[in-house]
Each structure stands twice: as structure tokens, then as C-alpha cells.
Structure 1
Amino acid sequence: MTKNLNSDKFRRNIVSVPVAQAKILAYAQQGEMELVPISEANNRVLASDITAPHPFPHFRRSGMDGYALHSLDTRGCNNEQPVQLEVIDDIPCGSLPSAKVERGMASRIMTGAKVPDEADAVVMLEMTETLEHEGKKYIRIKREIESGKNITPVGFELADGDRILEKGRRIGTGEISVLATFGYHLVPVVEKPRVAIFSTGSELLQIDEPLQDGRIRNSNTYMLVNQIREAGGEPYMLEAIEDDLDKARQRVEAAFTEYDIVITTGGVSVGDYDIMAELVREPSTELLFNKVSMRPGSVTTAAVKEGKLLFALSGNPGACFVGFELFVRPFIGAILGVSKPFLPEFQAVLGNTYHKINNFTRFVRGSLTFEGGRLVAYPAPLDESSVMVTIKDSDVLIVIPPTNEGVAAGKLVDVLMLPGGRFT
């Protein structure tokens, strides 16, 4: 049967990566807020600003193991004229002073313990000599101690009501520490978008099936599951779709009723069995784009159905990986309200000459090093769309603009930092 080359399946309007990204983000609506236990808040995104409910520290605390005293008692003392103070209390960390520190007295105190209200300085232990006389303990000091010495004042780090974490911030170890410090045992975060993943193609094997001639294991789905989790979404791996348009339509429509985003991998080219290229052209679906001026993954497709996005990514592992990082990751980030949803971009020196001639912008997997005081990006030796092995060794995507002669080593190029890269 002769193909109809005028069919919609073969008519593709090319858009640039920035235009495609803008089309996608126009449909991003921030998710609802939910409260989660602090133990489950890692890698979640704050749904609101977090303010300090009290100053920190909320009491004057000692910065040293030593003795709390009146600085005036040390006025004018030196090696020839030391001052001697009676030790009247012992204050471990977590305990309160049990005796009032009068002039001529001192309290033994540990680092972090509450300084007695009457004292205005702490002398470090190493600057004192201890002695006993008639059953009483004393310390001898041979230098002046200024007021406020070794005391962390109330509100030194944060005042009551200060903003400590901003809305849209991703929560990591440091944020967990701050939240715990201020008693936020329940944390306001943005609900994770629920993301359905379909692989398409009758050639796919499950990863636990024996290898068969002419068929490949379904690796893209597992890769996407991890990428979605890294981006902050909740992945749901659904049963693979066979090369059947009616079945694909039913499965995708069912997924849209239950999930916030639908991702497919494979079936977006123009072959006889590339069903996603057909599906996104149906009247019930608004096509955003089905060709992007990029390599790999030029057939990356996005469509809208009832306000929800469908991402149809290439079945080639390299192209699927890049398509997710450029389009799906920022869309999930925008839903979560992160302030910078796109991959961080900066410049580096190209380590090796890139010889390929490009009509489209190439996003080349590469590794990043620091040499001679500058960042150097080396293109992966294998960067074909179908190559997956170099994904594991890549820190960055090197942006190679359209060129008729390649890009020479030593030239400055833009690079996009991949999550988990050595320089993140």
C-alpha cells in the first residue's frame, strides 16, 4: 500500500527548543499544598514561605567550655595582678543556671549552655587556673575579658518572623535541619504530580525476560521512572502499549482521567507502526508541537488533552533522555513552583573538536572537568540517538549550534548541567 505523503502524520512544523519549552510551560499550573512529616520532606518543594516562629538562638548561649562571669571583674588584671573568682555553679548543656552569679563569682559552663542572666562574658577554660581553698572552688584569670566575649546573643542567626526558607525551594539536608530547629514537624509542600509512563512497541521485552533475537528490553521506562523521581514527580509505570491505535487511544484516555501527566516513549516517528504520531493528531487532542529543531529527539512531541499534557518521547534511549531533561523536567518543576525549572546553564571550553555537521542544535552528552582554572566539557565518544551507554557517564549536555564545519576544541560552548553531575 502506498503511503499518503500529504497526510497529517507527515506534516510537521519545526519549532525551536525555547519555543517548545514556552508552549509547554504555558500549561503548567502549580499543584495543591499538602502537609507531610519532616521525615518524608526530602526532595519535596515548599508550597509557602517558612518564617522563624522565635528568634534563634532563643537564649544567650555559651560559645565555649569555660566560666560565665562579669567582665568588670577582670578590669585591669594581668600576669602580675590576676583576679580570683569563686565558682558557684556548674551548668551543663541543656540545663539552666541554679545560682545567681554575683560580682566576684563565676559559673562553670559548657558549650551551648544557657548563660546566666547576670553574666556578660565567658572566659574559655584554657585561660583559667583552678584552685581550692577551705572547701571552695576558685578560678584565677590573668587577662581582661571584654563584655560579650564567647556569648552568642539571642537572635544572632535569625530574628522572630524572619523568612528562613522561600516558597519554591527544594528541600535537602540543610533545609531539613532548619525545619527541625524551628519545630516544623509537618512541612507544607506542593503535591507531586502523578506521571503515567507508557512504552510503545511490540518489539519490547520486560527486563526480566530472556533476550530474544530482534527484540530489546524495555529500558526507557525504568530510566524515565528515575528521572521523574529526580524531578519531583510521582511515576507510575503502566503496561506497555502494543502497536494498535485503538488500544493506544483507550489506554492513553484512561490514563488522563487518573494521572496529571502522561509520557510515552516510542512510536513518534513516521513509520507504519508509529502510533503516537497518529494519536496526537486526533480532534480531541491539541497538538503543541511534533518536531523540534534539535538532535537527538527531533520528533519529540507534546499535546494537550483536557488541560493535561501528553509528552511523546522518542523510543531511542539517548533521545528519550534528552527530551525528558529539556521538556518534561522543567514542566514538572513549574508545577511544583520551583524558581528555576530549567537545567542550569553556563559556559565551558570544548575539550575535543566536535566534527558533526548540524542543521539543528545538538545537545551532546558530555563529561565536565576542571583544568587549568577553567571548566572543560568533553563530548561523549558515542552520542547517537540510539546509544544509551554514555548516559551514565554524562555530567552535562553540550549545546552545539547549527554548523557546517563542526566546532573546534578550545571554543567556548554553552553547557546544561544534568542532575547528579559531579559539579552540581
Structure 2
Amino acid sequence: MNSRQDTPDHKFHRKALQVKEAQARVIEYAKLLDGEEVPLNQSCGRFLAEPVIAPHPFPAFNRSGMDGYALIAGDTKDCGQDRVVWLEVVDDIPCGAVPAVSITSGTAARIMTGAQVPEGADTVVMLEITETREEGGKSFVGLRKPQQAGRNITQEGFELKEGELVLSAGWKIAAGEIAALAALGVHTVKVLRRPKIGIFATGTELLEVDEPLQPGKIRNSNSPMLEALVRETGGEPVMLGAIIDDLELARSKVQMALDSYDMVITTGGVSVGDYDIMGDLVRENSGDMLFNKVTMRPGSVTTAAVRGGKLLLALSGNPGACFVGFQLFARPVISLMQGATLPFLPEWTAVLGADYSKVNNYTRYVRARLEFRDGCLYAYPAAIDESSVMVTIKDSDCLIVVPPEERGLSTGAKVRVLKLPGELQG
């Protein structure tokens, strides 16, 4: 891999890659994981490992669309307001029952919504337009209006034919998919294994979430955020804690994690300071480095390497940069490991809702809030979008992509946005 990376050893000399090229490098190592069988009720959010084919038609029989009478439409051709056609009721078919007799000319069957339409019947008449009478111990139904064949009957196989593709491999299972699988009797589903993602933070300054504040220290908020992001993407996070700025300790932790898990994500220690040990650790084996700088703000120091076929993604310790780095690089890799067909954040076009005046040499990914108004989609940039700022992450449902050639953007400008997962905030 040395041919792909000519970064000098000195930490201040970094070869910056465009975001698209950096993404292309990391997704090369998004190896598809093995499949496993899970119960249907545990399959929500998982990705199918193989296609699902309909084992039988659905509906499996001609189904009544309402409460009424199943009959032959031709028997009603002589109906009129002054002429009632009477048909003998020869069966009563509740939902879930099998018709006892076939319908022949001059007969009808009382039928409930969802019940199997008897042989011979070609239409179902709603209960409200019928009349009934008893005569000689028999029941009759009367009609005053001619009926059309095929009305109020859902034909066998109307939704799915036997052998038809229901869901393709790589499809993400949600409520609608579970309904379809349940209707077809698919009670176990073969899905791709969730990737196990090792997560740890570096920094002597870090406290655990439950520790009281101390002078010069900060709580480790990035690791819980990454844990949530990994779960949101379908992975299984493995929390490895925080480690002090010790290169030997970091080296052993990283190697252990790479040996044990499908991917490792770290946060912190990738800048150019004297204690930025993750940058130093990756440079020890420069041939394994995919990149150590990206032309983006925030998160330009995002670093990626591969060891033993496993991807190591080292994100910035700044919360904003860590969040953006995960969305651009970790999310697509974790998604592809599970067979996702659309691993990247969806791109939308929106109208800028407020001026954005920052000028950058690199593409900037601005945390923003989306709002629909008067049939248009507006994007409002966060008032504070510095790399070190954490609180605006919770208020954002998209990232505005500001190219480096833009020398500030005015309200009303058309902008490209990357839609973040979840519901719109506004």
C-alpha cells in the first residue's frame, strides 16, 4: 500500500485526500459478514442475507373484501327497482372457514370480510344493498340492482404470486417487511451478522461519565456518542474505555481490538500535538495507512489504516469532528458489512434558511436543521458549528455541504445537504 500513500513520517506533513477518495479507500475493507438465522420478531433493522421468495400465492385464496353475499353476477341482470331477484342462501361463511358448497345459478352464500369466496361465485354484494326473507324453512337474499363480476373480491395471488421475489438480499427489514414475511409464514429469517465494532477514546484528560468534574478534565462524551451511532447503524459496539496518552498502551489495546472485532474506531489523539498518540501509532506502520488527512472541516485529521484486513478508523477528539467523521466514513463501512445497498447518507437539495459566512479552503460539513415550509425544504445552519462544539449535534438532522470555492452563502441559496438518520427535528 505504500504506492497509495506517500505521506512523510513527520506528523506535520500530511497528504490530504478528497472526501470521496477517502470514502472509496475505507469501503474497500467493508467485508460482507456471514449470515445467521434469527426469529422474525428479532429481525427488525437487520439486512437480509439472501432473497426471500414467496412460498405460496398471497392471498392464498379468493378473498371477500366486505361483509355481504357471494353470488354469480349474471343472476342479477334482470334486477330493477321494481323487480327483485331472489337467490337462495345455501351457505354461511365466516372468516377463517372453508365454503361448504359451490355456488350455482340461483344461489348465494352469506360471507364475511376476509373469508374465502366459494367456487362458482364471481362477485360479492355488500350487505347494505340486499333484502332478505324466509320461506319454507329456507333463506333468500334479494337484489334490486344488477351487479358486476369481480367486484369486492381480492383474487388469489393478487399481491404475490408463488415463486415471486418478495425481498432481495441486502434489504433492510422494517415493519412492512415483517408483515409480508409473517403473512407468508416466514418465521425465521437469514440475515447478515451485525459487525462488532471496538470503540475506545484516548486522552489523559478524560473522565468517565459518572465521575465528578476535576480541574482540567472533561467527561468522555465521544465514546457514548459513538456507541449510539454504531447501534443506530446496525452494528454491535464493544466499549473498551478510555486510555491515557501512552503509546505502548494504545498499541496493545488497538492490536487486541483488531484481533477480536470486525472494525475498530478510536476518538482523539490524531492531531499534531506532542500527545496525539493515535497519529503516532498509525505512522509506525505507514504501509498500512490509507490516509491521515481529508479535505474537510471539521475532521480534517481523520485517519484510517488497515491491519490484518481489519479497518482502524481514528476520529478526531473534537465532538463535532468525531460526529461528522463517523457519518462520512464509519457509517458506510458498517452498513456495507451488513449488505446495505445504500450505505451513504442520502443527498437532498434545500434552500438555505440563514446566511452562512464562513470561508474555508476545504469542504465544510455544517450541522443544520431542516424545515418544510410552503412546499419547500429549508436548511438552517447551526449558530455555532465549531469542531469542538458538542451541543448542536442534538439539534441537527442534516449536514450542509459547503464547497471550498464558496466565499460565503446567502439566505435563499440552493445547497446540497446530507440527511442524517432519524426524524426531522423541526
What does 1:387-398 align with in structure 2 at a 5 Å threshold? 387-398=389-400
Alignment correspondent of 1:219: 221
Match of residue 65 from structure 1: 67
Tell me which of 16, 33, 42 is aligned to 1:14: 16
Inter-partner Cα distance in structure 2 for 1:18 and 1:402 = 15
Change (3 A) 1:296 1:175: same
Letter of the 1:168 partner, please give it: G
Structure 2 segments unaligned to the other structure (5+ residues): 1-7
Aligned match of 2:347? 345
Match for residue 305 of structure 1 among 294, 304, 307 = 307
For 2:130, the aligned partner's letter is T
Question: Does structure 1 retain, via aligned residues, the 8 Å contact 2:346–2:418?
Answer: yes
Q: Which residue of 2 aligns with 1:375?
A: 377
Secondary structure of the residue aligned to 2:253 is helix
Kindly indicate whether the alpha-carbon contact (under 8 Å) linking 2:395 and 2:425 is maintained by their aligned counterparts in 1.
no
Report the Cα offset of residue 7 of structure 1. 4.7
Pairwise mapping of residues 15-414 of structure 1 onto structure 2 (< 5 A)? Answer: 15-283=17-285, 286-403=288-405, 405-414=407-416
**Is the 2:9–2:283 Cα contact (8 Å) retained in structure 1?**
no
After TM superposition, the structure 1 stretch with the greater mean CA deviation from structure 2, 397-406 or 195-204, is 397-406
Percent identity, aligned pairs only? 57
Q: State the number of aligned residues.
A: 419
Q: How far apart are the structure 1 equivalents of 2:340 and 2:63?
A: 36
Paired AA for residue 71 in structure 2: L
Residue aligning to 1:3: none
Q: Secondary structure at the match of 1:238?
A: strand
- Do 2:370 and 2:398's aligned partners in 1 also have CA atoms closer than 8 Å? yes
Amino acid at match of 2:248: D
Q: Structure 2 vs 1, CA of residues 157 and 222 (structure 1 numbering), >3 Å: closer, same or farther?
A: same
Which 10-residue stretch deviates more, 385-394 or 402-411? 402-411
Structure 2: distance between partners of 1:54 and 1:355 = 60
Query: After the TM superposition, which of the residue ranges 114-123 and 101-110 deviates more from structure 2?
Result: 101-110
Aligned with 1:208: secondary structure? coil
1:100 deviates by 3.4
Q: Structure 1 residue 275: deviation in Å?
A: 0.4
CA contact (8 A) 2:369 2:425 kept: no
Whole-angstrom CA distance in 2 between matches of 1:106 and 1:100: 9
Alpha-carbon distance, 1:216 to partner = 1.1
Give how far 1:404 is off.
Answer: 6.2
Counterpart-to-counterpart distance in 2, 1:423 and 1:59 = 45
CA deviation profile, 1:259-285 (whole Å, cap 9, x unmatched): 010000011111111100100111286
Task: List gaps (5 residues or longer) in structure 1.
Answer: 1-5
Contact 1:285–1:304 (8 Å) recurs in 2: no
Change (3 A) 1:404 1:108: closer
- Greater shift in the superposed pair: 7-16 or 151-160: 7-16
Query: How far is the alpha carbon of 1:372 from its aligned partner?
Result: 2.5
Contact kept in structure 1, 2:298 and 2:364, CA below 8 Å: yes
What secondary structure, in the 3-state scheme, does the structure 2 residue paired with 1:197 have? strand
Contact 1:296 1:322 in 2 (8 A): yes
Q: Give distance in 1, aligned partners of 2:141 and 2:406.
A: 82
Q: Residue 303 and residue 7 in structure 1: after superposition, are their counterparts in 2 closer, same or farther (change >3 A)?
A: closer
1:33-85 deviation per Cα after TM superposition (whole angstroms, max 9, x unaligned): 11111111011011111111111111011011100111121112111111011
CA contact (8 A) 1:285 1:305 kept: no
Structure 1: distance between partners of 2:241 and 2:225: 15
Question: What is the rounded CA distance, in whole Å, between the counterparts of 1:53 and 1:111 in structure 2?
Answer: 24
Q: Work out the CA distance in 2 between the residues paired with 1:285 and 1:178.
A: 49
TM-score (norm 2): 0.96
The answer to whether the 8 Å contact 2:396/2:425 transfers is no
Does the aligned pair in 2 maintain the 1:48–1:188 contact within 8 Å? yes
Residue 359 of structure 1: how far off its partner (Å): 0.7
Give the aligned residue type for 1:74: T
Q: Distance in 1 between matches of 2:210 and 2:327?
A: 27
Runs of 4+ off more than 6 Å: none
